[in-house]
Chains A and B, each alone.
Chain A
Amino acid sequence: MKNLSVCVEGKRIVSDVSLSVDPGELHIIMGPNGSGKSTLLSAVMGLGYVNICGGKVLFNGVDVTGLPSYERARLGVALAHQHPPEIKGVKLRDVALAMVKKHGCSDCLLLAKALRVEEFMNRDLFVGFSGGEKKRTELFLLMLQNPKLAMLDEPDSGVDIETIELLARSIEMLRARGTAVILVTHLGVVAEKLSRIDKVHLLLDGRLAYSGSPDEVLPVVMKFGYRKGLEVLVKKNAQGS
Chain B
Amino acid sequence: MPREARRVDVEKALEKPAPYGPDVDLSKYRLEEVVVEGVGEVVDPGVSSAAPRVGLSADKLAYVQANERVLYTTLARALSKYGVVVTSTREAAERYPRARELIWRLVDPASDKYTAAAYLYGGEAGYFVYVPPGTKVPLPVYTCLAITSNNVVQFAHNVVYVDEGGEVNVVTGCAIPHGVYSGLHIGISEFYVARSAKLTFTMIHAWAEGLHVRPRTTVYVEEGGEYVSYYVTYSPVASIQTYPVTYLEKGARAYTASVIASSKAGVYDIGSRVVLKGIGSSGESASRVVAKDESKVYARAEIEAHESDTRGHIECLGLLLSPSAMISSIPIITSMKQGAVLSHEAAIGIIAQREIEYLMSRGFTQEEAKAVLVRGFMNIDAPIPPPIRKHVDAILDIVAKHAVG
Using CB atoms and an 8 Å cutoff, list the residues of chain A in contact with chain B.
Answer: 45-49, 68-70, 73-74, 78-79, 81, 84-85, 87-91, 94-95, 98-99, 102-103, 124-125, 141, 145
Contacts and interface: CB of A to CB of B under 8 A. Distances in A.
Contacts of B353: 48
Contacts of A141: 362
Interface residues of chain A: helix, strand, loop or mixed (majority): mixed
Given A48-B357, A84-B358, A98-B372, A70 B363 contact: yes
Interface footprint category on B: 20 to 34
B379 interface: yes
A122 to B, nearest CB: 11
A78 B364 CA distance: 12
A79 B361 contact: yes
A65 to B, nearest CB: 16
B360 A69 contact: yes
B358 A73 contact: no
A73 B361 contact: yes
Contacts of B352: 85
Nearest first, the 8 closest Cβ-Cβ pairs linking A and B are A90-B376, A89-B376, A73-B363, A89-B379, A70-B360, A69-B361, A69-B360, A85-B354
Contacts of A47: 357, 361
A94 B366 CA distance: 17
Interface string B44-73: 000000000000000000000000000000
Contacts of A90: 372-373, 375-376, 379
A85 B362 contact: no
A125 B352 CA distance: 14
Contacts of A87: 355, 358, 373, 376
B359 to A, nearest CB: 7
A102 B358 CA distance: 16
A70 to B, nearest CB: 5
Interface of B: 352-355, 357-366, 368-369, 372-373, 375-379
Interface centre among A49, A90, A91 (most CB of B within 10 A): A90
Given A81-B358, A94-B372, A89 B363 contact: no
Contacts of B377: 88-89
Given A70-B363, A98-B368, 14 more contacts: A69-B357, A69-B361, A70-B360, A70-B365, A89-B375, A89-B376, A90-B372, A91-B379, A95-B362, A99-B363, A102-B363, A102-B364, A124-B376, A125-B376
A95 B357 CA distance: 14
Contacts of A99: 362-363
Given A74-B363, A103-B363, A85 B372 contact: no
A79 B357 CA distance: 12
Contacts of B378: 89
A85 B355 contact: yes
Interface centre among B359, B362, B378 (most CB of A within 10 A): B362
Contacts of B368: 98
A48 B375 CA distance: 23
Contacts of A85: 352, 354-355, 358
A45 B375 CA distance: 25
Contacts of B372: 90, 94-95, 98
Contacts of B376: 87-91, 94, 124-125
Contacts of A74: 363
A73 B373 contact: no
A95 B376 CA distance: 10
Contacts of A70: 360-361, 363-366, 369
B126 to A, nearest CB: 35
A69 B353 CA distance: 14
A111 to B, nearest CB: 15
A145 B369 CA distance: 16
Nearest to A144: B362
A94 B379 CA distance: 12
Given A73-B363, A99-B362, A99-B363, A49 B357 contact: yes
Contacts of A69: 357, 360-361
B248 to A, nearest CB: 28
Interface centre among B376, B378, B379 (most CB of A within 10 A): B376
30 contacts: A46-B361, A47-B357, A47-B361, A48-B353, A48-B357, A68-B366, A70-B364, A70-B365, A70-B366, A70-B369, A73-B361, A78-B361, A79-B361, A81-B361, A84-B358, A85-B352, A87-B355, A87-B373, A88-B376, A88-B377, A89-B375, A89-B377, A89-B379, A90-B373, A90-B379, A91-B379, A94-B372, A98-B368, A125-B376, A145-B362
A89 B365 CA distance: 19
A73 B352 CA distance: 20
B163 to A, nearest CB: 36
Contacts of A91: 376, 379
B348 to A, nearest CB: 14
A88 B380 CA distance: 11
A125 B360 CA distance: 15
A241 to B, nearest CB: 42
Contacts of A145: 362-363
